[in-house]
Amino acid sequence: MAAAPAAETLNGFVNPPTDAETLTLYEPSTASAIEVNDHIINHPLAVKLRREKAMTESRPHLKIPVAMRPHNLTGGTLLGEGKIEVPPLTFQDTASELPELVQLSYVGPALCGHPGIVHGGLLATLLDEGLARACFPALPNKVGVTASLKIDYRVPCPAGSYIVLKAQTTKVEGRKAWVKGWIELLGDDEGEGTKLVEAEALFIEPKGAKHMARVYSTQ
């Protein structure tokens, strides 16, 4: 019996769900999650991005094997009621030489540093992961690790906010990719909201990347 979870995890790495399949894997189980999920998937920005042929829609965290999610920071520990309420909804241009990404999320009151203000470390974590995911399609083996991450905080993020992470790959040289991005408040329409924090990062594909397990497949 003990081998069953290990086999399930291995199968999850070898045969991850497709981007389209991840959109069917999440079912909100609380009234608050239903409300947040409906707001995100039906928001004018999501509707606009869904119409763009170059953009692929997915929920990347749902590619993590179920048995591994309790051990994954953003796909398990920080996900749930009062935190990152629902799995972030992601739109990504994976075919471009300089890929871009837009991700819609909700951050709840359990993620605060100062009362009522989302912890800056949480925003840094989201940027680190989001900027990395943006550039992965441009790397030879579609995976990389953070070499540097520079963050500038502009405005505090109120708890209980819908936010948008936007990332743009700016340069790729072999196993290196440079990315810039920011997090802004999600407005009422598809326009830009108040910019909360900006970042620039360098990601490097490890030399043994060809043989690494893919937690987030870009396929």
pLDDT digits 0-9 by tens, 31-50: 999 999 999 999 999 999 99
Residues 172 and 179 sit within 8 Å (Cβ to Cβ):
no
Secondary structure (3-state) at 158: strand
Q: What is the pLDDT of residues 107-158, one digit of tens each?
A: 999 999 999 999 999 999 999 999 999 999 999 999 999 999 999 999 999 9
Q: What is the pLDDT of residue 5?
A: 47
Distance CA 198, CA 182 (A): 4
Q: What is the pLDDT of residues 65-75, one digit of tens each?
A: 999 999 999 99
Secondary structure (3-state) at 52: coil
Instruction: Give catalytic residue positions.
Output: 128
* pTM for this prediction: 0.89
